Amino acid sequence: MELYQRDDRRAVLWEQHKPRIEEALRAWQQRTYWFAYPEDTKAYPEAEASAGEADFKAQLGRPFDRLRQGGRRWVVSDEVSPYTREALGISYPQADVGEWIGAAEEALRVWRWVPWTERLGLLMESVARMAKRFFEIAHATMHTTGQAWMMAFQASGPHAADRAVEALAVAYGELSHIPEAAHWERDFGRSKAVIDKYFSPQPVGISLHIGVSTFPVWNVLPGLYASLAVGSPVILKPHPRAIYPIAIVVAILQELFEEYRLPSSIVQLAVDTVAQPVTRELAEHPLIKLIDYTGGNEFGTYLEALPGKVTFLEKAGVNGVLIESVEDIEAVAKNLAFSASLYSGQMCTAPQNVYIPREGIKTAMGTLSYKEVVAALQRAIEDLAAHPKAAPAILGALQNDTVIERIERLSAQVQVLRPATAYVHPQYAAARTLTPVVAEVVEETIARIEHFGPRLLFVPVDDAREGLLRLYQDAREKGMLSCAIYSTDRAFRQEAARLLIEAGVIVSFNFRGQVFINQSVAFSDFHGTGANPASNASFTDSSFLTKRFHWIEVRDCLAG
């Protein structure tokens, strides 16, 4: 019995990419250092760098006409560069919700019957083609999000591509362990039962992916590729202020699908504006069965409450640090200053609260008082923020004015030790910038709210165990995506590890040097756990794939 629509050209593509995806799956299983795409810009041809910048400049002020999808109208986006404060002026085709849904429904009838091996081959090929456009994607990311150049290149380029390959590798592992067909026989003595059995992984339905303004590619690609891998067409609704970077990826996918005689509507870009959003109408449509989302708690809670939907959400968390004892406070201070300053704190993994015992901490050089620890951390922030080369390369720019307003409100509620101040970007005089506010928090309720943006808050506690309990409570009740503990006491580290594992949070001990708690490395680190209120899913565990499809069986009785 033949259930699938096979294609020789697509089968060849699968054989071409199969060794690479098998290598990725082994890396995912072993959790060691491995990458699909290098993060160093020098690893790519200079011609690609020049072409990427030229393509970016040529796209500004023009319609994005690379998409293979229709639209009733062209809509000028709300995208404004955080560096120049000028509108990008790019317009995108826009249809109505019913038209997007209808096109996805038609695509589902085709895509679900493409053999999963052929789907994975096509998707691996799309990532390879995406790598050829890393530089344009990086410029687009920089001038929509405010990320500094190197972060924009790495996060939206190789790191995002690695997460896409990771999702495909996990899909390969989950789809390959059940055979497509099996011949089953049982002898009953006087008779024999003979049944041919067929096993088909079928998608839950149409997927909606809701993008975020700060990481429009990195946060989207895992879910996008997970859904496509299991046969689900995707309607991708980017944030209205950050469309261009992910539009490039969608255009690559659509072009590839058409090239291999498949509907380009297997993935569609559904654009809207801040003034006229369409996200709720899309999310509430009964044919939308899967929803991926990164963003605030309020909208995430609304999505979770929608009936008949399977959701994969990353929401806000209150990330904490506890300093119990250290070998070198200067090394710790530099590491935390970098983590708090990276992309001006506009990362879901950026540290916010630093719990420090009032009695001070132990070091290799003796005891440091609470004030001395605070002073070391504050000094490290100041040194970084005042550095003419490091500040722009690390802090970047603020995505929007709301971040400034949020930090101003926070500053009015705490004891400010170092005010948030703008720095002058050496290349972009109009850049929207802000260095971290450093403050002490006594009011517990303030520390239990995420203040997204450039900030580092010191929270005095009676002792390290009180700080550990505060971390546990924050993770369990408010949610937490990253947690750091500094301790030279092995017994304390073991106690902390067990407690925080129970709280469902990823914990990092004694990070210093070139490893930072913000980092989440594909094939080795999970991003989010799904075990505390900050997320109900993880990049990328098995359930991130298995919740998107069902195994359906067909039994053909040949004798009995």
For range 44-66, the mean pLDDT: 98
Q: pLDDT digit string (tens) for 193-219?
A: 999 999 999 999 999 999 999 999 999
Q: Sketch out the chain's domains with CATH numbers.
A: 8-24+47-60+96-315+538-559 (3.40.605.10), 320-509 (3.40.309.10)
What pLDDT shows up at residue 364?
86
For range 338-366, the mean pLDDT: 96
Tokens at 491, concatenated: 């017994």
On whether the CB atoms of residues 325 and 487 are closer than 8 A, the answer is yes
For range 501-520, the mean pLDDT: 95
Per cent of the chain over pLDDT 90 is 96
- Best CA proximity match to 418, nearest among 377, 459, 371: 377
DSSP string, 80-102: B-TTT--B---EEEE--HHHHHH
Per cent of the chain over pLDDT 70 is 100
Mean per-residue pLDDT of the chain:
97
What pLDDT shows up at residue 560?
72
What pLDDT shows up at residue 546?
98
What pLDDT shows up at residue 365?
86
Cβ neighbours for 51, distance < 8 A, ≥ 6 positions apart: 135, 136
Q: pLDDT digit string (tens) for 321-348?
A: 999 999 999 999 999 999 999 999 999 9
On whether the CB atoms of residues 147 and 264 are closer than 8 A, the answer is no
Residue type for 122, please? L
Residue 72: pLDDT above 90?
no
In angstroms, the Cα distances linking 371 to 333, 360, 368 are 13, 8, 8
Tokens at 60, concatenated: 């500004």
Cβ neighbours for 464, distance < 8 A, ≥ 6 positions apart: 322, 324, 357, 487, 492
pTM: 0.96
Q: pLDDT digit string (tens) for 168-183?
A: 999 999 999 999 999 9
Q: pLDDT digit string (tens) for 204-258?
A: 999 999 999 999 999 999 999 999 999 999 999 999 999 999 999 999 999 999 9
DSSP string, 388-411: TTHHHHHH---SSHHHHHHHHHHH
pLDDT band at 459 (very low <50, low <70, confident <90, very high): very high
For range 442-455, the mean pLDDT: 94
Angstrom distance (rounded) from CA 531 to CA 376: 34
